Structure 1
Amino acid sequence: MAATPRTSSLTAPDAQPMGLRERKKLKTRVAIRTATYRLIQEQGYEATTIEQIAEAAEVSPSTVLRYFATKEDIVLTDAYDPLMVTALRSRPLDEPPLESLRLMMREALTSFVTAEEEELRRRTRLMVEIPAIRARMTETMSDTAKLLSQVLADRTGRSADDLRIRIFTAAVLGALREVTLYWGEHGQEGDLITMIDEALDTLETGLRL
């Protein structure tokens, strides 16, 4: 999903206000991301270097790499995974897993669109245009899948490495990935949340010939 979210319904109910150190980290992270998007817009993705990003954000290159392991991560990294895990754990235990994931994803995306719509649009354009970002997105989704698989494993009494758990989680996140790319490839037209609902309907019912 993208930048550290602002207050939303996905925020954990027991979340505490950030301390000075956390606020400084957030400020640095936002500065790095803002500088990155500005430079990419001005001169293109490939021409933008970590050194240039550091200079524009008024930090050192080592600071940039401490916050983001790669340039692609500056575009892709966000703070939504832990919140999605919390939201998924809060769903009723007798709720069908696909419905739990559907509602959790709908809530997360609604929060994201409300707080960070322009960031979502910029990120999606780069996903479509830059192969390295698409490849890195696949890697980061694998990490997200492991987190969500553990929650589903706990709910179903299976192992997180159970093949059916892995296939199910990968299929749902794969649907999210393909809808996002499709939306970006088609001028970001249409309602993204509705499109994801339709994709999950297809997973649930299969293709109807």
Structure 2
Amino acid sequence: MGMAGSGDVPAAGLRERKKAETRQALRKAAARLFREQGFARTTVADIVEAAGVSPRTFFRYFASKEDLLLPDLAEFFDRLEAELAGRPRAEPPLPALREAMLAVLQDGPRSTLVALVHPLEGTEEAVTDRLVHAFMRREERFAELLADRVPPGPDADLRASVAAMAALSATRAVIRTVRQRRRTAEVPVGAVARLLPTAFAVLAEPGAQA
């Protein structure tokens, strides 16, 4: 039993490494094809041929080629949830979510941020759609995480939902602003983290409470 158990760990590790390598191969192949022939002209068949895997293997990792535009988006939001859950309980909703977001922007998956701020030509609309849908899917979860940070009362659930939606909308506004500025000047990816506190400050301005 002891020998079999000790052999299970390396085998499991090997499987996970193989999965990671396959996922990375698909990401690299897709990124290269998107650059060379455009997103619209690239098919799943093109991607699997370039990566040297079967279509069946592709769909074990990604539901569509659109998923490869923001391949680490789920990890990005998972990290954000974890950071938010770890913030001090006495911290108000918006500051807590702002600091959690800044932490993920600093140390989280960079490929997602690059794709959001510097989308490949012809992919901006698709990238934006996926981001919006991802935010919508996560709004309820973030509202739950903020629920114990709002003042108690009959409308506490509403306050938490508004805070979550406002914070995520502010983040989207920052990304859109950086993209717009890139049309006339060189803007680094780090501009998102620099502008985020300003966007959250707008939410706290007196006029925003009207």
Structure 2 gaps, min length 5: 1-11
SS of residue matched to 1:162: helix
Q: Distance in 2 between matches of 1:122 and 1:84?
A: 18
Q: Distance in 1 between matches of 2:206 and 2:19?
A: 45
Q: Distance in 1 between matches of 2:121 and 2:143?
A: 27
Residues 124 and 180 of structure 1 are in contact (CA less than 8 Å); yes or no, is this contact kept in structure 2? yes
Map of 1:177 onto structure 2: 172
Matched to 1:132, the amino acid is: A
Aligned CA-pair RMSD: 2.7
* TM-score, structure 2 normalization: 0.77
Quick one: which of 19, 39, 62 aligns to 2:13? 19
Instruction: Kindly indicate whether residue 205 of structure 2 is the aligned counterpart of residue 205 of structure 1.
Output: yes
Map of 2:65 onto structure 1: 71
- Taking a change above 3 Å as real, the CA distance of residues 127 and 175 of structure 1, as seen in their structure-2 partners, is farther
Map of 2:114 onto structure 1: 121
Instruction: Kindly indicate whether residue 187 of structure 2 is the aligned counterpart of residue 189 of structure 1.
Output: yes
Map of 1:105 onto structure 2: 101
Q: Which has the higher contact order (CA 8 A, sep 6+)?
A: 1
Matched to 2:166, the amino acid is: A
Map of 1:86 onto structure 2: 82
Residues 26 and 51 of structure 2 are in contact (CA less than 8 Å); yes or no, is this contact kept in structure 1? yes
* TM-score, structure 1 normalization: 0.77
SS of residue matched to 1:62: helix
Further displaced range: 172-181 or 71-80: 71-80
Structure 1 gaps, min length 5: 1-17
SS of residue matched to 1:47: coil
For residues 135-154 of structure 1, the aligned pairs below 5 Å read 135-154=129-148
Q: Distance in 2 between matches of 1:138 and 1:165?
A: 19
* Number of aligned positions between the proteins: 187
Structure richer in helix, relative to its length: 2
Matched to 1:176, the amino acid is: T
Further displaced range: 61-70 or 196-205: 61-70
Q: Distance in 1 between matches of 2:103 and 2:119?
A: 24
Structure 1 residue ranges (4+ consecutive) displaced by more than 4 angstroms after TM superposition:
154-159
Matched to 1:59, the amino acid is: V
Matched to 2:201, the amino acid is: D
Map of 1:36 onto structure 2: 30
- Taking a change above 3 Å as real, the CA distance of residues 170 and 91 of structure 1, as seen in their structure-2 partners, is same
